[in-house]
Copies of this chain bind each other. A is one copy, B any other.
């Protein structure tokens, strides 16, 4: 039996508040030249002090050897088994711009891109065109393209947009048209399931009309589609765990995941300090669960910029006292996956985690990093465990059986 359904049965409206501070891509690998991992090298006096009165450990997200994308990583943190709850990037991107998806809608991510004279992709991001230009092109497309089903074509930012198809009988099993590499031609929007043929035909008609409109553009002279998915809303945090949640994140992806599980997602506050102040501002009677997201630890890891990732961690540490001052019953510091700067990409390595509450078995871990946390009282365990532990420490789970 799935343990998360036991948490659902035991959750009640009583108990304390839970604050999740999620540093995206936090886990790292030792860089011999730097003398340790990003977390080991970073100067983090507040995190370290917090660790000393917390339960520490390591979370293996999704499963051993699995490198999680941002969606599955966050779903795991929120207590949604990503092997059971699958969501595509298209759905996430649409949710992230606040698009009001309806059950059954098909969403896909769009990149404006550049084709060379031979029809091969030479820039998958069309020189990262300005968001303004993106908006103008989107408007032209909306004015000129006609389909047999309703569609929505919306700017995200820079070269990114979202396509949504709405109608009866649509299916999400459509192959990406994005070849993922330059020097190749875009792929056809092939149906990957017999019942998706009609949807593939709509996408084909869309692409044909769009191509005529973009042919004379200089950089954004084509679009690439990927991550087709049919939207089915997930059971909410309230339904499952009796948690009224709020998201403090500025990136569409994380706002999208949060909206998908029924959290409130207020307009993005400016910068990391703005988000910490937003946490303080919204902290109160209306919510039980607060999710604050830090993107820079992941972005700088993906840039292979060890020092910049260290700096991002240190910037977080400087703001941590704002969260501590709220004195929530449960404060969690964790991550959705590792992004070691030495690799420049997401990885499967477990991520450090700490839980702070009056009911923790505070352990001897004195520095919050990948190695010290091995000695922590949470041990090394599946990422999905975190939500159950957070609920328990907040007094939000009744006793099981008599």
The answer to whether B64 touches A388 (Cβ under 8 A) is yes
**Residues of chain A at interface, number, CB under 8 A:** 63
- Cross-chain contact B346 with A29 (CB below 8 angstroms): no
Q: Which residues of B contact A82 (CB under 8 A)?
A: 400-401
- Binary CB contact string for chain A from 377 to 402 against chain B (1 if under 8 A, 0 otherwise): 10111000101111111000111111
Q: Please indicate the chain B residues that have their CB under 8 angstroms from the CB of A340 in the complex.
A: 359
The answer to whether the Cβ of A267 comes within 8 Å of any Cβ in the partner chain is no
From B64, B397, B401, A86 is in contact (CB under 8 Å) with B401
Interface residues of A in 307-321 (CB under 8 A from B): none
One of B348, B388, B390, B402 near A227 (C-beta < 8 A): B402
Q: Do the beta carbons of A397 and B361 come within 8 Å of each other?
A: no
Are the C-beta atoms of A66 and B400 separated by less than 8 Å? yes
Residues of B within 8 A of A71 (CB): 401-402
User: When each residue 206-234 of chain A gets 1 if its CB lies under 8 Å from chain B and 0 otherwise, what string results?
Assistant: 00000000000000000000010000000
Q: Closest Cβ of chain B: how far from A374's Cβ, in Å?
A: 6
Judge if A30 is at the interface, Cβ distance under 8 Å.
yes
The answer to whether B371 touches A68, judged by C-beta atoms less than 8 angstroms apart, is: no
Does A343 belong to the interface (CB within 8 Å)?
yes
- Asked whether B377 lies within 8 Å of A375 as measured between CB atoms, the reply is no
Bound: A72/B400 CA distance, A: 7
Q: Are A66 and B6 in contact, with the CB atoms below 8 A?
A: yes
Q: Copies of this chain, how many?
A: 2
Does residue A84 face the partner (Cβ distance < 8 Å to B)?
yes
Contact with B along A1-37 (1 / 0, CB 8 A): 1010011001000000000000000000110000001
CA distance A29 to B87 in the complex (A): 40
| Interfacial chain B residues near A72, Cβ < 8 Å | 400-401
- CB of A250, distance to nearest CB on chain B (Å): 18
The chain B residue sitting closest to A5, CB to CB, is B83
Question: Interface with B: A123-131, A135-143, A282-290, A362-370, which one?
Answer: A362-370
CB-CB < 8 A to A58: which residues of B?
379
Query: Which residues on the B side are within 8 Å of A159 (C-beta)?
Result: none
- Considering the complex, give the chain B residue whose CB is closest to the CB of A79: B65
Closest 8 CB pairs of A and B: A65-B388, A65-B392, A89-B402, A69-B401, A64-B385, A379-B380, A72-B401, A1-B83
